[in-house]
Amino acid sequence: MRMGVLGSGMTAQAISARLAELGHDVVIGTRDADKLRGWQSSNQRVLIGTLAETAAHGEMVFNATDGAGSLNALSMAGEENLADKILVDVSNPLDFADGFPPSLTVFGKDSLAEQIQRAFPMTRVVKTLNTVTARVMTHPLEVADGDHHVFISANDVEAKSQVVDLLRSFGWTNIFDLGDLSTARGAEAYALLWVRLYGAMNTGMFNIKIMR
């Protein structure tokens, strides 16, 4: 499948590499291609594009940009290039303006996922993977043999189902369907707890499991 991954950081790189490994045709998108030249030399199956080229290429597009810049990045990607496509939003609206620990740029009665959906009404936004570090997103079996949960939220049930299939191809077996996109409020707010757990354990290689 043609995949577009918006972002140049560790998350975009991890997702792009994994998608290419799984046989997808991947373009990774940034405002500054030079940032990715070194990485691409060892990931030659992934091509580098502008944000607009990357969104145009993808049948499915990932938002792996800094949450505070995501709306700008998506607007540079272009509404027309994102229309009718699934946008897998893995971002967190973390606000580091006052340093560590971060706060959120949006919370409570709204979420970044919902802001994106309102700004791009023709796009099928699916929130997932934002509650784990990049390596766990793409290689869930490396933590507790995969015995932990990832969450998924979307208004579009069919889009959600396609992303569930993709998550399974990454190795995810426990995929917790939270419901519509408003449920991303909780998944995004969890990032505040995640950074504290990271601080306490000094590793991002962990996740949570829902038990009852």
**Does 102 sit near ligand NAP (CB under 6 A)?**
no
**Does 30 sit near ligand NAP (CB under 6 A)?**
yes
User: Which one among 1, 21, 23, 31 touches ligand NAP, defined by CB under 6 A?
Assistant: 31
User: Which one among 16, 43, 92, 115 touches ligand NAP, defined by CB under 6 A?
Assistant: 92
180-199: string of b/e by CB count within 10 Å (b at 16+)?
A: ebbbbbebbbbbeebbeeee
**Does 196 sit near ligand NAP (CB under 6 A)?**
no
- How many alpha carbons lie under 13 Å from residue 207 in its C-beta half-sphere? 28
**Does 4 sit near ligand NAP (CB under 6 A)?**
no
**Token pair recorded at residue 106:** 């949006």
CA distances from 10 to 7, 65, 156, 159, 160 (A): 9, 10, 28, 25, 24
User: Which one among 2, 72, 101, 180 touches ligand NAP, defined by CB under 6 A?
Assistant: 72
Nearer to ligand NAP, 64 or 86 (CB): 64
Q: What's the min distance (Å) between Cβ of 195 and ligand NAP?
A: 10
Element at 168 (helix H, strand E): helix 157-170
**Does 94 sit near ligand NAP (CB under 6 A)?**
yes
Give the distance, in angstroms, between the CA of residue 145 and the centroid of all CA atoms in the same chain: 22
Nearer to ligand NAP, 22 or 195 (CB): 195
CA distance 65 to 48: 15
**Does 35 sit near ligand NAP (CB under 6 A)?**
yes
**Does 118 sit near ligand NAP (CB under 6 A)?**
no
CA distance 134 to 188: 15
**157: amino acid identity, one letter:** V
Nearer to ligand NAP, 8 or 183 (CB): 8
Q: Which residues form the interface with ligand NAP (CB under 6 A)?
A: 7-12, 30-32, 35, 64-67, 69, 72-73, 90-92, 94, 130, 133-134
